[in-house]
Amino acid sequence: MHVLIVKFHSALPDPDVRELLERRTSSVLVMPCLLQKYYTRKASSGDHVGVHVFESEESLDRYRNSEVSRSLPSVYQTTSPPRVEVFEVLFQLR
């Protein structure tokens, strides 16, 4: 299992970003092998953070190369390139 964390800061007002996030959920739902996605926001910086859980590294790579993923900077009008981190899950509690 792998976790992908994507952080970005948008030039758009927060309500607009949330609306876009919600509007694009149907595109994210059909992504193969995406087990879960958490939509979060870091209040102190205003950054939006997507936490994605994949069943394999291959699934994660397919997502990162998808149009949904590649379009993030233009759709959300990011102020700089998104910050991306990838983690391998060692084990889970539940």
Q: 77, 11 in Cβ contact below 8 A?
A: yes
Residue 93 lies inside a defined structural domain of this protein: no
The DSSP code for 56 is: S
Residue 56 lies inside a defined structural domain of this protein: yes
Q: What is the pTM of this model?
A: 0.90
Helix, strand, coil percentages for the chain (3-state, nearest 5): 35, 35, 35
Residue 32 has pLDDT above 80, yes or no: no
Residue 31 has pLDDT above 90, yes or no: no
Q: What's the number of domains the chain is made of?
A: 1
The DSSP code for 30 is: T
Residue 20: the pLDDT is: 96
- Distance, in Å, from the CA atom of 82 to the CA atom of 62, rounded to the nearest integer, reads 18
CATH of the domain at 53: 3.30.70.100
Task: Work out the pLDDT band at 3, boundaries 50, 70, 90.
Answer: very high
Residue 12: the pLDDT is: 97
Question: For residue 79, what are the domain limits?
Answer: 2-88
Residue 7 tokens, joined: 């952080």
Residue 94 lies inside a defined structural domain of this protein: no
Residue 63: the pLDDT is: 93
Residue 53 lies inside a defined structural domain of this protein: yes
Residue (of 38, 63, 51) closest to 5 by Cα position: 51
